[in-house]
Amino acid sequence: MIVRPDAPIGVFDSGYGGLSVAMEILQRQEHDNIVFVADQAHVPYGTRPLSQVQGFASAITETLAAGGCKAVVMACNISSATALPEMVEQYREIPVLGVIAPGAESASIATISGRVGVLATEGTVASGAYVRALEQFTRVSNVVQVACPRFVPLVEAGTVSGAEVDSAVREYLQPLKDAGVDAVILGCTHYPFLLKALQKEWSLPVYVNPAYATVTRLIAELGSKRLNRSGHIGARRHLAVTTGDLEEFRSGLRWYLGDKAKEFTVKPATWRKGKIVIPNLPPSSK
């Protein structure tokens, strides 16, 4: 498998949440292009059986890697919780990263009391992946997880403020307030878009967005595999694909990315016999 430093970075999620990670990559890897995949035909992932999510995440990773991407970032906690180890093993030539280990490490640094809260989807909570990752750090003494099924549909609908958001935020933060945590992991990539509402309800804890540490790891791994691109590439051209409604996706990208959305070509992707087909990816150089 030949991988080129000028190949794009593949990034995927069930929906708009992955943009919170993509935005971090765009900001810090200014010479790179990305391919962003939103599997909106299957959103939300968080209420599905873990084995099904593992299947989606593995298939998307395989298509991005076979299409020549120089790295694949699972910008999705539940995908990271289910599919990451196998995919890392399968694609040793390129960095394949998830968000859970970087998020757990950031929280272990942020906490003073040792009590860490995790807001995540039902599936990520049930997987126990954050609990296992946080247990590695002696600074962490207590982990309190809260499943937040109301959040993803709100963010997918572009609703990040207002009465409905405030009521969901109040409900989900209460157990963390009761437990007295001082660091709260945003354990679903959709949740950073609700940060203002969370801080308005409870400003005390440090809210940890795993995106920052994930991209730090991505940069380090690209460097160690000599896949960092140096030099100017002119105007950036990113690709964004959805398995859902194309027009809604176009306006969703504008809503979440603002002017940056102009740098994206938007196309449909389709599921065929358990594989995802993404147009415009360079053919595999395997």
Q: Per rule CB under 6 A, is residue 22 in the interface with ligand DGL?
A: no
Q: Taking the chain, what is the end-to-end CA distance rounded to the nearest angstrom?
A: 4
Q: Per rule CB under 6 A, is residue 208 in the interface with ligand DGL?
A: no
Q: Per rule CB under 6 A, is residue 242 in the interface with ligand DGL?
A: no
CA distances from residue 85 to 67, 88, 172 in whole angstroms, order as listed: 20, 5, 30
Q: Per rule CB under 6 A, is residue 78 in the interface with ligand DGL?
A: yes
Kindly identify the residues of this chain, within the stretch 247-286, that bind ligand DGL according to CB under 6 A: none
76 a catalytic residue: yes
**Residue 17 CB neighbours (<10 A):** 30
Query: Where are any strands of DSSP class E within the chain?
Result: 9-13, 34-38, 71-74, 96-97, 115-120, 142-147, 183-187, 206-208, 238-242, 264-268, 270-272, 275-277
| Count of residues engaged in binding ligand DGL, rule: CB under 6 A | 17
Instruction: Name the one residue in this structure whose structure tokens are 């203002």.
Output: 196
Nearest approach, Cβ of 74 to ligand DGL (angstroms)?
9
Q: Which of 15, 257, 220, 228 has the alpha carbon at shortest distance from 121?
A: 15
Structure tokens at 104: 């757990």
What is the pattern of x (binds ligand DGL, CB under 6 A) and - over residues 80-119?
A: ----------------------------------------
188 a catalytic residue: yes
Give the one residue of 33, 54, 61, 77 binding ligand DGL; rule: CB under 6 A: 77
Closer Cβ to ligand DGL, 39 or 201, answer by number: 39
Closer Cβ to ligand DGL, 190 or 229, answer by number: 190
Nearest approach, Cβ of 268 to ligand DGL (angstroms)?
19
CA distances from residue 19 to 108, 140, 153, 176, 223 in whole angstroms, order as listed: 24, 29, 15, 26, 23
Distance between CA atoms of residues 187 and 79, nearest Å: 12
From the list 188, 213, 218, 253, the catalytic residue is 188
Q: Per rule CB under 6 A, is residue 121 in the interface with ligand DGL?
A: yes
Give the one residue of 35, 37, 43, 211 binding ligand DGL; rule: CB under 6 A: 43
Q: Is 231 helix (H, G, I), strand (E, B) or coil?
A: coil
Structure tokens at 199: 């801080």
Q: Per rule CB under 6 A, is residue 152 in the interface with ligand DGL?
A: yes
Give the one residue of 65, 96, 169, 190 binding ligand DGL; rule: CB under 6 A: 190
Active-site residue set:
76, 188
By the criterion CB under 6 A, which residues form the site for ligand DGL?
13-15, 17, 43-46, 76-78, 121, 124, 152, 188-190
